[in-house]
A and B are shown apart, each in its own frame.
Chain A
Amino acid sequence: MISGIESVLIADDSVTARMIIKKCLEIAGLGGRRFIEAKNGLEVLEILQKEKVDLIVTDLNMPVLDGKALLERIKSCPDFSSIPVIVITSGNNPAREKELNRLGAAFVVNKPASPAKVVHALSALENLKREVRP
């Protein structure tokens, strides 16, 4: 499974969704990692200033700062732009997925999240890392 991930930041305004995502990540091979939770994009940016994060898993539809705006902020900041971001959304279609990939999302997962979908996303992330590495 994916290497080099010690801490994962999960952003969703629903505690139920965060719990489901965390369980899926644990089943998908990230058990024992440090999980940090945020309720919106602004909280994510505040946590990033203080904590080292290796992977961000974010919802799209959130109050205060939504997932799309968060992705734009992360990818435009040199300090954070290398952190892979997986977007989890209830409303995905090809147009939205294309736009999110253009903004820098490593992978887009349809809600409700399942271990199988998360395994697929993490595998894609690992392949992406291999392609970047010579």
Chain B
Amino acid sequence: MREENIITAIISAVTETIENMAFSEVLYVGVEKKMPPPEEGSLGAVLPVFSPVIGTLSAVLPGGLLECLVECIYGPEDRQDTGNAAADTMGELLNTIAGKMMSYITDPDQEFEMGLPVIQESFPGEEPAEAVAYLFDVEGHRLFIGFSGIIPER
């Protein structure tokens, strides 16, 4: 498996997930060497993947984008019932992106394993800072998806 496979899988997973969940247009902008420091109001999440790729997928969404996505998914009425809609949406978004990414990089007859998303308001740990960050534009907002880990050859 090569790094190009991961990039292609991440782009497809992010695009399909956000377009289908939030009906928002996604444009892939490019690769950054590191995950950015979170802006004011940003929310982040990390999710470990165990097999066949071992690593961490992370996401940083600025507050404005998160507001926009929550509004798209919940609508104004249902949102009133959920106290923590932004964090929950963030986790579900990363979980769906990770699952799609893993299904794209595995063979049809190969199982894969991943963990659960953990929400973070900042990234003090080393792992996400070492990640390669893939930058997307969602309705004028910047979305960063990071990946750090070991890509096994096959």
A20-B73, A90-B98, A91-B98 known; A14-B91 Cβ under 8 A: yes
Comparing B27-35, B100-108, B124-132, B142-150, the segment that makes contact with chain A is B100-108
Report whether B99 and A89 are in contact in the complex, using a CB–CB cutoff of 8 Å: yes
Number of interface residues of B (CB under 8 A): 30
Could you tell me the distance between the alpha carbons of A90 and B95 in the complex, rounded to whole angstroms? 7
Task: Please provide the chain B residues from 107 to 144 with a CB less than 8 Å away from any CB of chain A in the complex.
Answer: 107-112, 114, 116
Return the contact of A16 from the options B20, B92, B98, B109 (Cβ within 8 A): B92
Q: In the complex the two chains form, what is the Cα distance from A95 to B110 in whole Å?
A: 6
List residues of A (73-125) whose CB comes within 8 Å of B's CBs.
89-96, 99, 111-112, 114
Proximity string of chain A (55-66) to chain B, C-beta cutoff 8 Å, 1 when within and 0 when not: 000000111000
Considering only residues 43-98 of chain B, those with a C-beta below 8 Å from chain A are 73-74, 78, 82, 84-85, 88-89, 91-92, 95-98
How far is A63 from B84 in the complex, measured between Cα atoms in Å?
18
**Are A114 and B88 CB-contacts (below 8 A) given A61-B116, A89-B99, A91-B100?**
no
Describe B's contact surface by its main secondary structure: helix
In the assembled complex, A27 has its CB within 8 A of some CB on chain B: no
Please report the C-alpha to C-alpha distance between residue A112 and residue B114 in the assembled complex, in whole angstroms.
Answer: 17
Query: A61-B99, A91-B102, A93-B108 are known contacts. Are A19 and B74 too (CB-CB below 8 A)?
Result: yes
Chain B positions within 8 Å of A17 at CB level: 92
Q: In the complex the two chains form, what is the Cα distance from A19 to B74 in whole Å?
A: 8
Per a CB cutoff under 8 Å, which of B85, B99, B109 touches A90?
A: B99
- Complex contacts, A95 vs chain B, CB 8 Å: 106-111
**Which residues on A sit within 8 Å (CB–CB) of B97?**
90
Contacts of A91 in B (CB 8 A): 98-100, 102-103, 112, 114
CA distance A134 to B67 in the complex (A): 52
With a cutoff of 8 Å between Cβ atoms, the chain A residues found around residue B103 in the complex are 91-93, 96
Task: Return A37 CB to nearest CB of chain B, in Å.
Answer: 12
- Inter-chain CA distance A96–B21, complex, in Å, is 23
Query: Which residues from chain B sit less than 8 Å from chain A, CB to CB?
Result: 17, 20-21, 73-74, 78, 82, 84-85, 88-89, 91-92, 95-100, 102-103, 106-112, 114, 116
Given A15-B85, A15-B88, 13 further pairs, Cβ under 8 A: A14-B88, A15-B84, A19-B78, A89-B99, A91-B112, A92-B103, A93-B103, A93-B112, A95-B107, A95-B110, A95-B111, A111-B96, A112-B96
